[in-house]
Copies of this chain bind each other. A is one copy, B any other.
Amino acid sequence: RPKNILNEVLFFPSEITCTEAIFTPSLHSCLCTLPHGVETSFSRLLCHILSTSSSLDLCVFAFSNMDLCRAVLALHNRGVVVRILTDKDYAAITGSQIGVLRKAGICVRCGVKTVYMHHKFVVIDGRLLINGSLNWTVTAVQSNMENVLITEVPKLVQPFIKEFHRLWEQSDPS
């Protein structure tokens, strides 16, 4: 195995900084009052997600973070196949971005209502796994003590691909 397999760990809460330059690399200057040009756990996470080239399989209990929503919409708009598995109850909560993502044409399925879908993982391009304690909310990113583990080790990534497929097939497409 080549030594350049990616393995990285990010801890939260993350410093709150401007994310504009991540979404618009051609941006010359931003006038907002947040710190600029600082690498944070959240900016690393966003960059990994925006690096997706073909497919993003997301299995997350709570999704209300608007930067992460913007990233997923950007992927969808450039032709990445996005699939989202989420919790039925949380999807209906105020602030959830699931409705926005669905309206944009992204495939969203909800877990069986009787079981709490507590995962927080993403598989990028069938190759990179992002997994940990972090829900895709603002509180998780900016306030909580959380972790995100990022790996390309096939023995860790493959089981999540298989589990995503299994959960996707048994989930409610409506």
Contacts and interface: CB of A to CB of B under 8 A. Distances in A.
A-B pairs, top 6 by smallest CB distance, nearest first, are A9-B159, A7-B155, A116-B144, A118-B144, A118-B133, A117-B145
A95 to B, nearest CB: 17
Contacts of A144: 115-118
Contacts of A167: 145
A160 interface: yes
**Oligomeric state, in number of copies?**
2
Contact of A145 (B11, B119, B159): B119
B145 A116 contact: yes
* Residue among A146, A149, A153 with max Cβ neighbours from chain B (10 Å): A149
Contact of A149 (B11, B117, B131): B131
Interface of A: 1, 3, 7-9, 11, 13, 111, 115-121, 131-134, 139-140, 143-147, 149, 151, 153, 155-156, 159-160, 163, 167
A155 B8 CA distance: 7
A130 to B, nearest CB: 11
Contacts of A118: 133-134, 140, 144-146
A9 B156 contact: yes
